[in-house]
Structure 1
Amino acid sequence: MSGHSKWHNIQAKKGKADAKRGKIFTKIGKELMVAAKDGGPSPETNSKLRDVIAKAKANNMPQDTITRAIKKATGDIENVIFEEITYEGYGPSGIAVIVEVLTDNKNRSAGNVRHAFTKHGGNMGATGCVSFMFQRKGQIVIEKTDSLDEDELMMMALEIGAEDFASEEEVYIITTTAEDFGVVRESLEEKNIEFLEAEIKMLPDTYTAIDEEISAKFQKMLDQLEDDDDVQNVWHNAEFPEGWDE
């Protein structure tokens, strides 16, 4: 089976940009705090918190950092209200872009996101202008190793409820519905499978191919958005040229 993930082409650039700025732990920490505050600090009874913990571990977040963020949910941020907001719009050359923020000041976030769009040749649109081009899916990325048999892993994934299984150059990609993500992830964890990524994403139905000039322009837009502490995720349907900016 095959998936149209383009994981290295798209998501790896996002992850590299986040890691480069040291933002990823801060962003996941905020997700942990909000999930714990909303559903309680126990991952046994809070499925959203379990999913965020899995994302944290896939990003090599230390256990004490995870624990500290969860504990903060009942202390430091007791009087801080974080709001989840999604912005949609178009990057240069009509690239569809979805920006998810977690903020305690929506006016600040809206202004910053709008500025990133307009500065780099894009424009923010109304709610729903591009989200219909994406599907909310669970995605688990596993590094290829000699100890993992591709056929066995594929059969295992499909038997426990995965929608799709893809083999790329360096990784396997397991795709699930958003609803089945937790069950599939936990089943793989029980079999001691380690993840490079494990989270629910907005995956595009189709991609927009862009040339090197537009790629450079759009990457600057992504960098500005991902450098914003309020921005949790940026999803888009750009297809960068093969080997660009490696």
Structure 2
Amino acid sequence: MGRIFETRKHTMFARWDKMAKAFTRCGKEIEIAVKSGGADPKSNPALRRVLQNARSVNMPKDKIEAAIKRALGGDSKDYEILVYEGYAPHGVPLLVEAATDNPTRTIANIRVHFNKGGGNLGTTGSVGFLFKRMGVFRLDPEGLDLDELELGLIDFGLVEIGEGEGEKGEAQLILRCEFNDFGNLQTGLEELGISPLKADSEYIPLSMTELGEKEAEEVMALVDRLEQDDDVQNVFHNLA
């Protein structure tokens, strides 16, 4: 019984940690969006997007409102979006996206993560050419027709549409566009009355790397370590 209890407790704490990390990430995105475009979602498409993302991870309303108030009241930190490049074990390329108010602290922490995780922090451009930045929209497929959706969004910059899975294995439709067309595709979805489950820019790998189970676990251990850092927003890799 003791072992079962400990396993359940570990799983529960891991879930809480993941939820807290998601709330922190969304809070930063809300503050950045409000500072750059104001607190009215109707006139600030970036804020509309991040508010939708916050709701998709069940971020409490009071935490959303607190993030908006911080940005409006001057209590918010001046976050800078930075991307770090490097290699995980076995030569797997990583892009680490961070939102930080202290780049010196962040780069030092990320270097430690790479070193302890068996990877190597690279220089700007060392792996970036292996990825393409695109706008990515994830939709609930219920009631949607792929062909009709494609026809309705092609003029708004839709490049790719396909089926995929969410973090919990649930079915999703995944739409991609050129990064510069992100706002156009967001507008197209709004005109069709479709609210994405999540919308963001992502670095899409141009090719994939396949590894054995043990080697893949070593790569994902470094990815997980990086994702736990308070300054890190996203980690992108090309591991199949």
Out of 94, 98, 121, the position equivalent to 1:97 is: 94
Instruction: Output the amino acid matched with 2:214.
Output: E
Displacement of 1:200 in angstroms is: 1.0
Q: Which residue of 2 aligns with 1:242?
A: none
Out of 149, 154, 157, the position equivalent to 1:153 is: 149
Out of 140, 144, 148, the position equivalent to 2:141 is: 144
- Aligned-partner SS, 1:22: helix
Matches within 5 A, 1:11-90: 20-75=18-73, 77-78=75-76, 80-90=77-87
Q: Which residue of 2 aligns with 1:127?
A: 124
- Aligned-partner SS, 1:23: helix
Q: Which residue of 1 aligns with 2:106?
A: 109
After superposition, the CA RMSD in angstroms is 2.3
Unmatched 5+ residue regions in structure 2?
A: 1-13, 166-170
CA distance in 1, matches of 2:17, 2:194: 23
Unmatched 5+ residue regions in structure 1?
A: 1-15, 240-246
Say if 1:154 and 1:165, in contact at 8 Å, map to a contact too: yes
Displacement of 1:76 in angstroms is: 5.2
Instruction: Output the amino acid matched with 1:121.
Output: G
Q: Which residue of 2 aligns with 1:12?
A: none
1:111-132 residue CA offsets vs partner (Å, 9 max, x unmatched): 2111111112210001111111
Say if 2:52 and 2:197, in contact at 8 Å, map to a contact too: no
CA distance in 2, matches of 1:161, 1:116: 37
Q: Which residue of 2 aligns with 1:4?
A: none
Q: Which residue of 2 aligns with 1:165?
A: 161
Percent identity between the aligned chains? 39
Matches within 5 A, 1:193-212: 193-212=194-213
Displacement of 1:180 in angstroms is: 1.6
- TM normalised by structure 2 equals 0.82
Q: Which residue of 2 aligns with 1:5?
A: none
Question: Which protein has the larger Cα radius of gyration, Structure 1 or Structure 2?
Answer: 2
Say if 2:34 and 2:47, in contact at 8 Å, map to a contact too: yes
Displacement of 1:21 in angstroms is: 4.9
Say if 1:18 and 1:226, in contact at 8 Å, map to a contact too: no
- Aligned-partner SS, 1:110: helix
- Aligned-partner SS, 1:208: coil
CA distance in 2, matches of 1:103, 1:172: 31
Distance 1:83 1:167, change over 3 A: closer
Q: Which residue of 1 aligns with 2:228?
A: 227
Say if 2:139 and 2:195, in contact at 8 Å, map to a contact too: yes
CA distance in 2, matches of 1:157, 1:58: 23
Runs of at least 4 residues off by over 6 Å: 16-19
Higher helix share: 2
Displacement of 1:220 in angstroms is: 1.3
Instruction: Output the amino acid matched with 1:225.
Output: L
Instruction: Count residues in correspondence.
Output: 222
- TM normalised by structure 1 equals 0.80
- Aligned-partner SS, 1:43: coil
Q: Which residue of 2 aligns with 1:11?
A: none
Displacement of 1:86 in angstroms is: 1.5
- Aligned-partner SS, 2:72: coil
- Aligned-partner SS, 2:65: helix
Distance 1:83 1:223, change over 3 A: same
- Aligned-partner SS, 1:41: coil
